[in-house]
């Protein structure tokens, strides 16, 4: 927020789309650039890296906090998803965020709403296959947040790599002018990618969890050495199960831009190794470039 002299005032909170629009348009009228960081809260250092990137690059930063019911399946963790608005507010304030948009579900989804955004193809594979409806929920809420905020740039973590590609695609396809910026994954010292869901891991599971990153590194090395994807997938499944993972949804090598089968568009294109695996009842995802 800004005082009469145009200097920053600290974190303010708004809960309606009208108030969000009013603040952002007053900043734009003053010639200030605006960054947007959508979150579902339970903020950790990975989210704060997104805030930091926005604070460094833009004049004003808006964070959003909304646990979006449309992106949770019927047997997923909507009810137990970690929530800590007071703690999140403190972290956002210390990180230099100017505005928090924390709407209710009724504010986000008017009674009788019936419009959704669906990114066909890209949203149906990998995560889309194992979490049916997930990307429709993400694409719908992110399209709304982008339209509501009208920010210049929005920041999303590469931890959810497929989500980042889905969001880039929907912004392009729907002519939403906000620039979509990807931010590198933040990892614990042992390599585990930070995630709000890591809070679900028992001590023993937390000890096993870094094997996901180690296996991705091994798979990337094999891909770089020209090994075939089916062989890499088989090796990686065994590694993860031997390490103590309960099940593996996928660990595969894909074209980094389209997530199509690696090599289908030519082997000179960048590739990405992506994985999702369960440790007890917690599902972890991670990815790295395959170079």
Site residues for ligand PAF per CB under 6 A: 38-40, 68, 71, 138, 141-142, 160, 163
47 is known as an active-site residue: yes
Name residue, tokens 């108030």: 19
Closer CB to ligand PAF, 197 or 206, in the complex: 197
SS3 of residue 273 by DSSP: strand
Minimum CB distance to ligand PAF, residue 165 (Å): 13
Closer CB to ligand PAF, 58 or 142, in the complex: 142
Query: What is the spatial distance between Cα 249 and Cα 246, in angstroms, rounded to a whole number?
Result: 10
What length does the chain have?
Answer: 291
List C-alpha distances in Å: 79 to 7, 68, 69, 163, 209: 40, 11, 9, 22, 24
Closer CB to ligand PAF, 137 or 210, in the complex: 137
Cβ atoms of 247 and 278 closer than 8 Å: yes
Cβ atoms within 10 Å, residue 212: 25
Cβ atoms within 10 Å, residue 12: 15
Minimum CB distance to ligand PAF, residue 103 (Å): 12
Minimum CB distance to ligand PAF, residue 177 (Å): 18
Minimum CB distance to ligand PAF, residue 79 (Å): 16
- Tell me which residue of 64, 57, 14 sits closest to 32, measured CA to CA: 57
Closer CB to ligand PAF, 141 or 275, in the complex: 141
The beta-carbon contacts of 228-234 under 8 Å, at least 24 apart in sequence, are: 229/253, 229/261, 229/262, 229/263
Among the listed residues 44, 47, 213, 237, the single catalytic one is 47
Minimum CB distance to ligand PAF, residue 163 (Å): 6
Closer CB to ligand PAF, 61 or 163, in the complex: 163
Q: Which residues are catalytic?
A: 47
């Amino acid at each position: 927020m800004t005082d009469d002299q145009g200097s920053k005032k600290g974190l303010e909170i708004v809960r309606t789309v009208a108030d969000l629009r009013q603040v952002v348009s007053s900043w734009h009228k003053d010639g200030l650039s605006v960054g947007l960081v959508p979150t579902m809260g339970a903020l950790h250092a990975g989210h704060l890296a997104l805030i930091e990137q926005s604070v460094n690059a833009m004049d004003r930063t808006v964070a959003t906090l909304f646990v979006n019911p449309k992106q949770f399946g019927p047997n997923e963790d909507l009810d137990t998803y970690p929530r800590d608005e007071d703690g999140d507010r403190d972290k956002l304030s210390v990180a230099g965020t100017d505005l928090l948009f924390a709407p209710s579900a009724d504010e986000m989804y008017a009674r009788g709403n019936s419009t959704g955004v669906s990114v066909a193809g890209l949203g149906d594979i990998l995560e889309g296959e194992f979490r049916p409806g997930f990307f429709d929920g993400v694409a719908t809420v992110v399209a709304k947040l982008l339209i509501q905020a009208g920010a210049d740039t929005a920041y999303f973590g590469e931890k959810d790599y497929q989500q980042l590609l889905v969001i880039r695609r929907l912004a392009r396809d729907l002519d939403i002018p906000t620039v979509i910026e990807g931010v590198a994954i933040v990892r614990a010292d042992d390599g585990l990618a930070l995630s709000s869901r890591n809070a679900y891991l028992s001590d023993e599971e937390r000890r096993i969890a870094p094997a996901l990153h180690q296996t991705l590194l091994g798979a990337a090395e094999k891909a770089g050495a020209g090994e075939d994807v089916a062989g890499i997938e088989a090796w990686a499944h065994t590694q993860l199960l031997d390490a103590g993972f309960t099940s593996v949804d996928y660990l595969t090598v894909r074209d980094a831009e389209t997530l199509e089968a690696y090599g289908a568009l030519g082997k000179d294109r960048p590739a990405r190794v992506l994985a999702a695996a369960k440790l007890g009842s917690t599902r972890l995802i991670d990815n790295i470039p395959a170079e």
